[in-house]
Structure 1
Amino acid sequence: MKITDIRVRCVAIPMNCMLRHNTGVHPGYLMRTILEIFTDEGVVGLGEVGGGDQRSALTKLAPRIIGMDPFQLETIKLKVLRNIYYMSNARLYAAIEMACLDIQGKVLGRPLSDLLGGSVRDAVPFIAYLFWRYDRPGGGDDTRAEDLADHCEELAETLGVRAMKLKAGVMDPGEEARVLELCRERLGPDFGLRIDPNGVWSVATATRIGQRLEPLGIEYFEDPAWGLEGNAAVRRAVRMPIATNMYPAKFDDLGPAIRLGAVDIVLTDIHYWEGPRGVKELAAVCRTFNLGVAMHSGAEFGIELAAMIHTASTIPEMRFAGDAHYHYLTDDIIEGGPMRYADGAIRVPTGPGLGVTLDEDKMAHYERYYEQVGDYYARFHVDPKRPDWMPMVGAL
């Protein structure tokens, strides 16, 4: 079997609100680049990647993989990821690996999870991912802790989720701490609580807020301050697990993070950690050093979500519910529409490969929508209601 060609398309799907974070605003839609890898035997593999319009970048990599056997992933990885440092991009390689594993599963008639060692759970739980919202359903913006606590209660009821995470670093840190305090009060002692200011807080602020939240027994404090040194300083000062999807977010930084004592839990991400197989390698390192593992969301659509679920289902120690922006999307590009939550979890797809298929009518519709709205990464996640605002690390 040989790879004969690729096709790349950009699509955007509306959300039910605008999501604020400490580097700007997702402007009412999410966007992804969809990859198809074609083979001489007629089997097509699907991949997906974020980070803006990646069509040109993937097209430049096509000559490196055309003619390759999609089962020879080590060689493909060397040619795509290890060849020239200024073209090295784990996100792009991950989309290619995802598509090649999809091909392998289809050829073998087995789900992708079987290629990674087999599922140890048949469904993967997810959280209520909370953002401060503009233009929320029903109108208005989130302005106070009660707004987010109300949203958390709503998601707990409608999706059945049993944990939340607040994307912090947007409002006053004390008001963001109050979100978790209200959720603990309303949802009880067993509801999982997490907070993630994405490193924007100073060590002093992160320490103060962390110590305030200690009595809540939160699951973890994610990227409380900037960099390995910042996380390590906060970890020494608070009595709660420190998690990260920023430092480290690649294998080069994993050793230094362990030596510095910067982290207790690493959030896996298919794109940061070099594909599903890379996530399995990361899990093995975390197991060796007694680090916890959780799952990061990159604002994925159904193709990547399927890959995340397959991968997470094969990691026994991944006991934390996964992150997902998915409940903010109004639709998906896969046949059958958006995956369904049941008791806060989404079942592992059972079909061959990823177990999902593109809906070509939806693809055409959301390609046209993308052409209308454009690549928001080119606008640096501008805040439309604060046009002169810019992120400042450590200013709080």
Structure 2
Amino acid sequence: MAVESDVVSYASASGGKTAADVADQIESIQLSLIFLPLATPVSDAKVLTGRQKPLTEIAFIFAEIRTRDGHEGIGFGYSKRAGGPGIYAHAKELAPNLLGEDPNDIAKLFTKLLWAGASVGRSGMTTQAISPFDIALWDLKAKRAGLPLAKLLGAQRDSVQCYNTSGGFLHTPLDQVLKNVAISRSSGIGGIKLKVGQPDIAADLKRLSAVRRELGDDFPLMVDANQQWDRATAMRVGRRMEEFNLIWIEEPLDAYDFEGHKALADALDTPIATGEMLTSFGEHAQLIMGGASDFIQPDAPRVGGITPFLQIMALADFKGRKLAPHFAMEIHLHLAAAFPQEPWLEHFEWLGPLFNEQLELREGRMWVSDRPGLGFSLSEQALAWKVDSCHFGK
């Protein structure tokens, strides 16, 4: 007896188109190198210990991507003190690899760019040169969807608790630090971070004591040693700082001393935070899997963009780590808003002149705007600070 087949031939069904048939294409890329001058040279512990010079400017590498169908996205990378022209040079090498590609295929394109520069490594300057493109592609995708990037990613919250760093640098006299603390609180900041790591530990403790008195016992307070202590010093100072009820002690040791950071995290009640200097998912995976910190502090422009940052976030959440991204709040607000656990966002007003739009700060939190994508565009002032640019494609 003949049996009718239930098999449907999908290959011949209605002549429908595939995703590849209707894909958009990257048509042009504009790269720009911009130097943002700082009004006052900035010093942290790396300067006082003679390892670096004061910070006077920041190099930004902007990528503006446009597609055949008229969609646009903007992203940036940056470098402090040195390396900006090098990142820009490598970005120029990478840019042609994106022309003609579907801008939706962000993970594929990240991998393509990573391997294009793999002969000089898959971290450091190589990944930092990918960041402007990867971030621009995510901005483009969210704009095309008509959503803020946080909403495209699946936001957990519409605002993120926000702390200020720029008022507590070591070049600032203590009386001015205390004035800055008062100004920050009145402006709506939800936490204060103080730089430490001076050669004289007593001087650090004096500044910390004064700031804690100014803030009161319960206002969120963090400290940042910028990698300037050895293991014994970090343990000794960390124990003395327990009384100050700190949210975290940041970068007490060299950024790659995962073993030392783990020992501190295990021994101290005060949480340990680190990760801002790491430049790939692989490095952050070592930090997270090794239990070397309580807070991770990835930086999207440093790790290669939003694509690897999302991988870092997923692993951190799985391992129960908290999140406090470094710098670039214009990008990290959206990513922090999508993290399952309540994160912290670092506030820096330095980047304000670069953009036409500003973020809203109130009640200790930074709020996601209703603007699609990342929600910023380059200002006339930023264009005036441009020192070089190049164009690829049409």
Instruction: State whether residues 199 and 223 of structure 1, in contact with CA within 8 Å, keep that contact through their aligned partners in structure 2.
Output: yes
Whether 1:108 aligns to 2:145 is: yes
**Cα 1:323–1:41 shift into 2, 3 Å:** same
Deviation of 1:204 after TM superposition, in Å, equals: 1.6
Cα distance in 1 for residues equivalent to 2:208 and 2:360: 26
Work out which of the two has the higher radius of gyration on C-alpha atoms and give 1 or 2: 2
1:314 corresponds to: 338
Deviations 1:187-214 (A, max 9, x none): 1122111112122211121112111110
Cα distance in 1 for residues equivalent to 2:227 and 2:234: 9
> What's the % identity of the aligned pairs?
24
Whether 1:288 aligns to 2:324 is: no
Among 146, 151, 160, the residue aligned to 1:124? 160
Cα distance in 2 for residues equivalent to 1:246 and 1:308: 13
Instruction: State whether residues 148 and 369 of structure 2, in contact with CA within 8 Å, keep that contact through their aligned partners in structure 1.
Output: yes
Cα distance in 2 for residues equivalent to 1:308 and 1:256: 22
Whether 1:186 aligns to 2:203 is: no
1:11 corresponds to: 34
Cα distance in 1 for residues equivalent to 2:317 and 2:230: 30
1:346 corresponds to: 366
Whether 1:150 aligns to 2:179 is: yes
Deviation of 1:249 after TM superposition, in Å, equals: 5.3
Aligned counterparts, 1:1-396, within 5 A = 1-21=24-44, 22=46, 23-51=51-79, 52-53=84-85, 54-83=87-116, 84-86=118-120, 88=122, 89-117=126-154, 119-130=155-166, 142-143=172-173, 145-157=174-186, 159-170=187-198, 172-226=200-254, 227-246=257-276, 250-258=280-288, 260-297=290-327, 300=328, 305-320=329-344, 322-326=345-349, 328=350, 331-336=352-357, 338-359=358-379, 361-367=380-386
Cα distance in 1 for residues equivalent to 2:236 and 2:100: 56
**Cα 1:255–1:41 shift into 2, 3 Å:** closer
Deviation of 1:69 after TM superposition, in Å, equals: 0.7
Deviation of 1:130 after TM superposition, in Å, equals: 4.2
Give the letter aligned to residue 341 of structure 1: L
**Cα 1:206–1:130 shift into 2, 3 Å:** farther
Partner of 1:29: helix, strand, or coil?
Answer: strand
Cα distance in 2 for residues equivalent to 1:99 and 1:367: 18
Deviation of 1:291 after TM superposition, in Å, equals: 1.4
Cα distance in 1 for residues equivalent to 2:336 and 2:231: 32
Partner of 2:362: helix, strand, or coil?
Answer: coil
**Cα 1:174–1:99 shift into 2, 3 Å:** same
Normalising by structure 2, we get a TM-score of 0.80
Instruction: State whether residues 228 and 260 of structure 1, in contact with CA within 8 Å, keep that contact through their aligned partners in structure 2.
Output: yes
Cα distance in 2 for residues equivalent to 1:180 and 1:73: 44
Deviation of 1:129 after TM superposition, in Å, equals: 0.3
Cα distance in 2 for residues equivalent to 1:142 and 1:170: 13
Instruction: State whether residues 17 and 28 of structure 1, in contact with CA within 8 Å, keep that contact through their aligned partners in structure 2.
Output: yes
Instruction: State whether residues 20 and 132 of structure 1, in contact with CA within 8 Å, keep that contact through their aligned partners in structure 2.
Output: no
Deviations 1:313-335 (A, max 9, x none): 11131333x12332x45x42222
Number of positions where the alignment pairs a residue of Structure 1 with one of Structure 2: 350
Cα distance in 2 for residues equivalent to 1:246 and 1:284: 17
